[in-house]
Amino acid sequence: MRTAPPLLTERLVLRSFTLGDAADVQRLAGDPDVASTLPNMPHPYEDGMAEEWMRFCSERYDKDEALNFAITLRTDKNFIGGIAFRLAQESKEGELGYWIGKPYWNRGYMTEAAKAVVAYGFKVLKLNRIHAKYFKRNVASKRVVEKIGMRYANFFPQDVEKGYLEDTVQYSILKCEFTEDENRTYS
């Protein structure tokens, strides 16, 4: 099984998921407030779902269709969330998706992780365009995409069924528009 290279930022280590992360994924992603912000996050998050999802992610990585990172704190290695690309190599595009556990909201961690992953997408994966979609009501996700330099691209009314129809908004950035901070390394 291939693993993604770790990415280091000032406060975070982004690394491949391991089965040891399963309990934390279930606990943090299973929070109803977290699950409600994501189109494909199950709730309740039952035993075995995290391991099944990690196997699926590994299979997609092996096929060069996706790249998933566990977000951990650099100081104590605590798992706090996940960030990923869905890749369309033929068009040199990536779709950024992310979530973070509720105890870690509003601390800038997701913006820091997203900047690192977007930089990796442009520098290492040689992507030309990266986009992200979020539920219109999710103002925290809007702040993340704006802080990493993405711009409004599209609006999709009643795009996702989550017990009711959710509007989604898409932001994107081109490689030529991205400005990278120099405080990260690629191992």
All structural domains of the chain with their residue ranges: 7-186
Average pLDDT over residues 68-94: 94
Q: Regarding the domain delimited by 7-186, which CATH topology (the fold level of the hierarchy) does it fall under?
A: Aminopeptidase (3.40.630)
Please give the DSSP secondary-structure letter assigned to residue 70: E
pLDDT value at 15 more than 50: yes
Q: How far apart are CA 60 and CA 53, in angstroms?
A: 11
The predicted structure's pLDDT at residue 181: 63
- Whether residue 30 has pLDDT greater than 60: yes
pLDDT digits (tens, 9 = 90+) for 89-105: 788 999 999 999 999 99
What percent of the chain stands above pLDDT 90? 74
Q: At residue 62, what is the residue type? A: D
pLDDT at 45: 85
Q: What is the pTM of this model?
A: 0.91
Question: Counting Cβ atoms within 10 Å, is residue 47 exposed (0-12), middle (13-18) or buried (19+)?
Answer: exposed
Output the pLDDT for position 113: 97
**pLDDT at 186 exceeding the cut of 50:** no
Q: Encode pLDDT of 112-150 as tens digits.
A: 999 999 999 999 999 999 999 999 999 999 999 999 999
CA distance 41 to 30: 8
Measured CA to CA, the distance from residue 89 to residue 43 in angstroms comes to 31
Query: What confidence score (pLDDT) does residue 5 get?
Result: 87
CA–CA separation, 121 vs 127, rounded Å?
6
